[in-house]
Amino acid sequence: MAESSVLVSSKLSVSYGGVKAVSDVDLHVDRGEIVGLIGPNGAGKTSFIDAVSGFAPMTGSITLNGHELRGERAHRRSRLGLSRTWQSVSLFEDLTVSENVKVGAGHTPLADRLRGRRQRVEIDPVLDRLGIAGLAGRLPGELSHGQRVLVGVARAIVASPALVLMDEPGAGLDDAEGAELGRQLRGLAADGISVLLVDHDMNLVLDVCDRIYVLDFGRQIAQGTPAEIAADPAVIKAYLGTTTDEEKAEA
Ligand SMILES: Nc1ncnc2c1ncn2[C@@H]1O[C@H](COP(=O)(O)OP(=O)(O)OP(=O)(O)O)[C@@H](O)[C@H]1O
């Protein structure tokens, strides 16, 4: 763990009634790092990011830039610099791409009216940064799934967060869309935004992550670089299985 750690969890646990979904997970994400959180279905990945973002009950500690988040409401966590994307990219279908992203900055026509003023918020640079400036005036129904995912990412970064939690952004993307998403995530990291990435798409995770943590039945079973994780016997047994074509041919 470095001085520059943005997110630090310590003995973070989540229980739903009798189900212990996450057990004593210690994890950290440094500034500008992309950190993967992987594991089989039901391993506790979504529960972990729900706890970090304030949507699941937790014990232990989670800090963002040194601020303890436990006990803080979700909107306060976002003010402190936390953002997230959701497993299903739900966009407002009657708003343009630009307007959808504006909502991520807390701007809706009603909110602006209640504040009694219209605040300027720069959407175009955010779209430009993700290579989707040309989609600004389109409706979500006109977009491919890959483009919708990038709009979801734009919405998550428009308020300049310190860290974005991403829940399966790679789901349903084809190879080209996955590669484009990976390229854009690396761009965010280069600009100093940290990412905690949950995904089952191992091409994406192994390609973009600086480090990876692996959960199984709520417990952390490994952590390391992508190369270390891909070669870890416990991870292969619990999750990756025989992954290469050569191994499959030998099996
Ligand atoms: N709201 C809930 N109430 C009760 N149990 C839950 C709830 N949410 C998750 N669980 C249970 O907690 C455990 C962890 O689930 P979680 O969704 O966090 O896993 P996951 O690693 O994200 O799985 P997946 O890869 O399938 O999304 C599972 O046993 C799940 O059934």
Reported ipTM: the value is 0.96
Kindly tell me if the per-residue pLDDT of 205 is higher than 70: yes
Cα of 127 from ligand 1 centre, angstroms: 33
Number of structural domains found in the chain: 1
Cα of 19 from ligand 1 centre, angstroms: 9
Mean of pLDDT values over 8-17: 97
What is the C-alpha to C-alpha distance for residues 202 and 222, in angstroms, rounded to an integer? Answer: 16
The CATH number assigned to the domain holding 195 equals 3.40.50.300
Range of the domain at 45: 6-250
Cα of 217 from ligand 1 centre, angstroms: 10
Kindly tell me if the per-residue pLDDT of 100 is higher than 70: yes
Residues 149-188: pLDDT tens digits?
A: 999 999 999 989 999 999 999 999 999 999 999 999 999 9
Kindly tell me if the per-residue pLDDT of 116 is higher than 90: no
Mean of pLDDT values over 25-29: 97
Helix (H), strand (E) at residue 100: helix 97-104
For ligand 1, is residue 43 a contact (CB within 6 Å)? yes
- E-strand spans in the chain? 5-16, 19-30, 34-38, 59-64, 67-68, 82-85, 163-167, 194-198, 211-216, 219-224
Atom index in ligand 1 nearest the CA of residue 56 equals 1
Kindly tell me if the per-residue pLDDT of 206 is higher than 80: yes
Bigger pLDDT: 10 or 104?
Answer: 10
Show contacts of 41-47: CB within 8 Å, 24+ apart. Answer: 42/217, 43/215, 43/216, 43/217, 43/218, 43/239, 44/14, 44/215, 44/217, 44/218, 45/167, 45/198, 45/215, 46/87, 46/167, 46/198, 47/14, 47/16, 47/21, 47/22, 47/218
Atom 29 in ligand 1: residue holding the nearest Cα: 42
In the numeric block, the tokens 């979801």 are attached to: 152
| C-beta separation of 189 from 34 below 8 A | yes
What is the C-alpha to C-alpha distance for residues 42 and 107, in angstroms, rounded to an integer? Answer: 35
What do you get for the CA distance between the two ends of the chain, in Å? 39
| Model confidence band, residue 114 (pLDDT cutoffs 50, 70, 90) | low
Neighbour tally for 79: CB within 10 Å: 11
Kindly tell me if the per-residue pLDDT of 243 is higher than 60: no
Instruction: List, in order, residues 6 or more apart from 126 with CB less than 8 Å away.
Output: 101, 154, 157, 158
Q: What are phi and psi of 217, to 5 degrees?
A: 50, 40
Inside any domain, residue 76: yes
Average of per-residue pLDDT values in the chain: 89
Mean of pLDDT values over 77-98: 90
pLDDT at 106: 64
Kindly tell me if the per-residue pLDDT of 71 is higher than 80: yes
Kindly tell me if the per-residue pLDDT of 248 is higher than 50: no
Q: What are phi and psi of 222, to 5 degrees?
A: -165, 160
Inside any domain, residue 19: yes
Inside any domain, residue 1: no
Kindly tell me if the per-residue pLDDT of 148 is higher than 90: yes
| Model confidence band, residue 1 (pLDDT cutoffs 50, 70, 90) | low
3-state secondary structure of 41: coil
Inside any domain, residue 193: yes
In the numeric block, the tokens 């761009």 are attached to: 187
